[in-house]
Structure 1
Amino acid sequence: MNFIPLLQGASQGGFSSFGFLIPMLLVFVIFYFLLIRPQKKEQQKTEKMISQLQKGDKIITIGGIHGVVSSTKEKTLVIKVDDNCKIEINRSAVGTVLKDTPPKPDFAGEEDKKKPLFGKKADDSQNDGTASQNESK
């Protein structure tokens, strides 16, 4: 029996499967960097935020309940929702921790200070009017 044709066929089949393996690895690498890695970073950020909760922090739960942390336990938090209303929730139910920084005020005059993208500036149009008046005299 002659085994040479069988060995040649096996070597060609191995090469084609290796050629198919490279695009699959590229798809996996792209999938990792676009989906898995950012999700891990977001999960670590959320875990850090939940572990650093302390009394007095303002939070919003994933159900939309707003409250202030009144006490912390290992796996749960007690939040004060109203004057005489406290709720015990799991730490995993915390959706957002609100910052105590005040929002930046919007200035009404800020729009007037913006420069136009095209055309003359507001100051130039005033100067042009005075220049044309001076020329006509």
Structure 2
Amino acid sequence: MACVLEMRADLVGPFIGKFNRNAMQNVTLYAFAAPVVAQQSPGSGPMMGQLLFFGLFFAAMWFLLIAPQRKKQKAHLAMIKALTTGDEVLTSGGIYGVVTNVKDDRVVLRIAEGTKIELARSFVQSVEKKASGS
């Protein structure tokens, strides 16, 4: 049912260049694809294939990028809520300190003897060591 288009190399001879060779492949591919396109139902055109492609692409991006980021964000929020006095933490600015006081939206860190800083909870990057009592 598929029509096959053959071109003999001895007839084409020196005219086979990069452009001509690609043109022959395209003609051959179109000759094979024509009966397949004719057999498709009228409702399932290229629009269905594009929708399927974009749907699969979105699902892949969700599972590869968005879902892990949301999981990481939830874990960071849980870590911030669980901060207690005595935890050794690392801030997003690279400062290590010990939590001395926990307020609603801030924490007070002791970074050296006699030196305390107050910063927003969201700037705590990680808990290096939990307090021994907790």
Q: With the length of structure 2 as denominator, give the TM-score of the two structures.
A: 0.63
Equivalent in the alignment of 1:87: 117
Report the counterpart of residue 48 of structure 2 in structure 1: 18
Letter in 2 for 1:88: E
**Deviation of 1:14 (Å):** 6.9
Amino acid aligned to 2:125:
G
- What is the RMSD of the two structures over their aligned residues, measured on CA atoms? 1.9
**Superposition misfits of 4+ residues, deviation over 4 angstroms:** 11-14
RCO higher in structure (CA 8 A, sep ≥6): 2
Shift of 1:17: 1.4
Counterparts of residues 39-118 of structure 1 (less than 5 Å): 39-99=69-129
TM-score (norm: length of structure 1): 0.62
Unaligned runs of 5+ in 1: 1-10, 101-137
1:38 paired residue among 68, 86, 90: 68
Q: CA deviation at 1:13?
A: 7.8
**Equivalent position amino acid for 2:64 in 1:** L
1:5-35: CA deviation from partner (whole Å, max 9, x where unpaired): xxxxxx9587321221000000001000001
Following the alignment from structure 2 to structure 1, what is the Cα–Cα distance between the partners of residues 68 and 124?
20
Contact 2:89/2:129 (<8 A) preserved: no
Residue in structure 1 matched with residue 27 of structure 2 by the alignment: none
May I ask how many residue pairs the two structures share in their alignment?
91
Structure 2: runs of 5 or more not aligned: 1-40
Percentage of matched positions with identical amino acids: 40
- The one-letter amino acid of 2:129's match is K
The amino acid of 1:39's aligned partner reads: Q
